[in-house]
Amino acid sequence: MAEKPTEEQILAGLAEIVEEVAGVESDEVTADKSFVDDLDIDSLSMVEIAVQAEDRFEVKIPDAELANLKTVGDAVSYVAKNA
Protein backbone atom coordinates (compact mmCIF):
# COMPACT_ATOMS: atom_id res chain seq x y z
CA MET A 1 0.00 0.00 0.00
CA ALA A 2 1.53 3.30 -1.04
CA GLU A 3 -0.23 5.41 1.59
CA LYS A 4 -1.00 4.52 5.15
CA PRO A 5 -4.53 3.16 5.36
CA THR A 6 -7.08 5.02 7.45
CA GLU A 7 -8.69 3.32 10.44
CA GLU A 8 -11.91 3.03 8.43
CA GLN A 9 -10.05 1.27 5.63
CA ILE A 10 -8.36 -1.06 8.10
CA LEU A 11 -11.67 -1.94 9.76
CA ALA A 12 -13.31 -2.63 6.40
CA GLY A 13 -10.35 -4.77 5.32
CA LEU A 14 -10.29 -6.70 8.59
CA ALA A 15 -14.02 -7.31 8.33
CA GLU A 16 -13.54 -8.86 4.89
CA ILE A 17 -10.74 -11.06 6.20
CA VAL A 18 -12.75 -12.16 9.25
CA GLU A 19 -15.70 -13.02 6.99
CA GLU A 20 -13.49 -15.11 4.70
CA VAL A 21 -11.61 -16.91 7.48
CA ALA A 22 -14.36 -17.44 10.04
CA GLY A 23 -17.60 -16.96 8.12
CA VAL A 24 -18.71 -14.06 10.32
CA GLU A 25 -20.85 -11.50 8.42
CA SER A 26 -18.60 -8.51 7.78
CA ASP A 27 -21.11 -6.00 9.23
CA GLU A 28 -20.89 -7.88 12.53
CA VAL A 29 -17.20 -7.01 12.70
CA THR A 30 -17.17 -3.71 14.59
CA ALA A 31 -14.46 -2.11 16.73
CA ASP A 32 -16.07 -2.98 20.08
CA LYS A 33 -16.40 -6.71 19.36
CA SER A 34 -14.17 -9.26 21.08
CA PHE A 35 -12.74 -11.78 18.63
CA VAL A 36 -13.15 -14.70 21.03
CA ASP A 37 -16.24 -13.81 23.09
CA ASP A 38 -18.39 -12.00 20.52
CA LEU A 39 -17.27 -13.36 17.17
CA ASP A 40 -16.45 -16.91 18.37
CA ILE A 41 -13.06 -16.92 16.64
CA ASP A 42 -10.58 -19.52 17.90
CA SER A 43 -6.83 -19.19 18.31
CA LEU A 44 -5.99 -20.85 14.99
CA SER A 45 -8.41 -18.65 13.05
CA MET A 46 -6.74 -15.66 14.72
CA VAL A 47 -3.47 -16.82 13.15
CA GLU A 48 -5.11 -17.03 9.72
CA ILE A 49 -6.58 -13.56 10.17
CA ALA A 50 -3.17 -12.21 11.23
CA VAL A 51 -1.41 -13.78 8.23
CA GLN A 52 -3.93 -12.27 5.81
CA ALA A 53 -3.80 -8.89 7.55
CA GLU A 54 -0.01 -8.94 7.30
CA ASP A 55 -0.20 -9.40 3.53
CA ARG A 56 -2.96 -6.88 3.05
CA PHE A 57 -1.63 -4.06 5.24
CA GLU A 58 2.12 -4.80 4.97
CA VAL A 59 2.51 -5.13 8.71
CA LYS A 60 4.06 -7.74 11.00
CA ILE A 61 1.81 -9.28 13.65
CA PRO A 62 3.95 -11.72 15.70
CA ASP A 63 2.24 -14.55 17.59
CA ALA A 64 3.26 -12.93 20.89
CA GLU A 65 1.33 -9.81 19.85
CA LEU A 66 -1.78 -11.74 18.86
CA ALA A 67 -2.73 -12.44 22.47
CA ASN A 68 -2.97 -8.69 23.09
CA LEU A 69 -5.42 -8.12 20.25
CA LYS A 70 -8.60 -8.88 22.17
CA THR A 71 -11.04 -6.74 20.22
CA VAL A 72 -11.40 -5.74 16.59
CA GLY A 73 -10.56 -2.20 17.73
CA ASP A 74 -7.27 -3.45 19.24
CA ALA A 75 -6.36 -4.97 15.87
CA VAL A 76 -7.30 -1.80 13.96
CA SER A 77 -5.14 0.31 16.30
CA TYR A 78 -2.22 -2.10 16.04
CA VAL A 79 -2.31 -2.10 12.25
CA ALA A 80 -2.74 1.69 12.10
CA LYS A 81 0.28 2.15 14.35
CA ASN A 82 2.57 -0.42 12.71
CA ALA A 83 1.62 -0.40 9.01
Q: Which residues are catalytic?
A: 42
What whole-number distance in Å separates Cα of residue 76 and Cα of residue 6?
9
Q: Which residues contact 68 (CB under 8 A, 6 or more apart)?
A: 74, 78
Cβ nearer to another protein, comparing 11 with 46: 46
Q: In the complex, what is the shortest distance from the CB of residue 65 to another protein, in angstroms, rounded to a whole number? A: 11
What whole-number distance in Å separates Cα of residue 64 and Cα of residue 4?
24
Q: In the complex, what is the shortest distance from the CB of residue 48 to another protein, in angstroms, rounded to a whole number? A: 7
Residues that bind another protein (CB under 8 A): 42-44, 46-48, 50-51, 63, 66
